[in-house]
Amino acid sequence: MQQVAIITDSIACLTRELVEQYGIGIVPISICFRDKVYRDWVDITPNEAYELFLQEPERFTTSPASPGRYLEAYHKASNQKNNVLCVTLSAKLSTGYEMACVAKEQAKTELPQLSIEVLDSQSVTAAQGFIALAAARAAAEGKGLADVVKVAEEMRDRATFLILVDTIRHVYRTGRIPKVAAQIGSILKIKPILTISSGLVRFAGAVRSKERGINQILKMMRDKVGQSPVHVAVMHAYALDEAERLMERISSEFNCAELWLTEFSPVMGYATGTGTLGFAYYWE
């Protein structure tokens, strides 16, 4: 019998099917547009959020989940389990981990029977999703909290992602490059390739065409995984047709043990823009 409930945030880009299959609790991040606040994946779908973004990008912002939202998720989990593992996005990218820990302290008074562990995924996107998913699968096998945490920590060292940004125009919002540099890069049609390292999103290269970029990120994954069985989550920001074609290529060119399609959270998309394509993966 499952002893541990798994919670993560909407940045993990898990599909509704996977969330329902493994009973994963999702804490929504806030999306703000024209003074109205939406809960990511709850009040608004990624597709709907990107349509708002395209109307007026400068008025599209995001904010982290509050301790109250994490505490609400802990309360819900306590109705069925006595143990919780909460997997947050990288603490170097957001205050999510801190908010989850604040909620954990509050839960000691309100939910004294509940044991809670909060894990910094040191990642984001579906790479974070794979960490939460590994924990959920371990919990479904009946593993205890300590063993579930260990499985999640091991996956944290394995899962990564490669993202091709279609336009550098909005990347200044990350604070990593000046706005004028982003504007110049957009004019020059520079398309960055992003990955994760030590909890931070980092540039892994740049190309001048989307076709070349797709070939490059596929080569980068191939250099890592070879013919080993690989688990892949293809992600897209308002680019379903291109994502489906990318998924077909991955299916035909790699030894896929697992392959699924999801939407790139608009919480990240506000800085990368629509047209973003990529995938999270790990190999056996």
Whole-angstrom distance, CA of residue 237 vs CA of residue 263: 6
Residue 167 neighbours by CB distance under 10 Å:
18
Residue 167, pLDDT score: 74
* Residue 181 half-sphere exposure toward CB, CA atoms < 13 A: 9
Fold of 4-29+64-156: Rossmann fold (3.40.50)
Residue 190, pLDDT score: 80
- Which residues make beta-bridge pairs with 49? none
Give the model confidence (pLDDT) of 161-218 as tens digits: 999 998 776 564 455 554 534 444 454 578 889 999 999 988 898 898 999 999 999 9
Residue 182, pLDDT score: 43
Q: What type of residue sits at position 39? A: R
Residue 169, pLDDT score: 61
Six-digit token string for 140: 């479904």
Residue 180, pLDDT score: 39
Residues of the chain with pLDDT under 50: 172-173, 178, 180-185, 187
Fold of 160-283: Hypothetical Protein Tm841; Chain: A;domain 3 (3.30.1180)
Residue extents of the structural domains in the chain: 4-29+64-156, 160-283
In sequence order, which ranges of the chain are alpha helices (DSSP H)? 16-22, 46-55, 67-78, 96-110, 125-140, 145-156, 179-187, 210-225, 240-253, 266-272
- What is the DSSP secondary structure assignment for residue 44, as one 8-state letter? B
Find out whether 162 and 279 touch, Cβ atoms under 8 Å.
yes
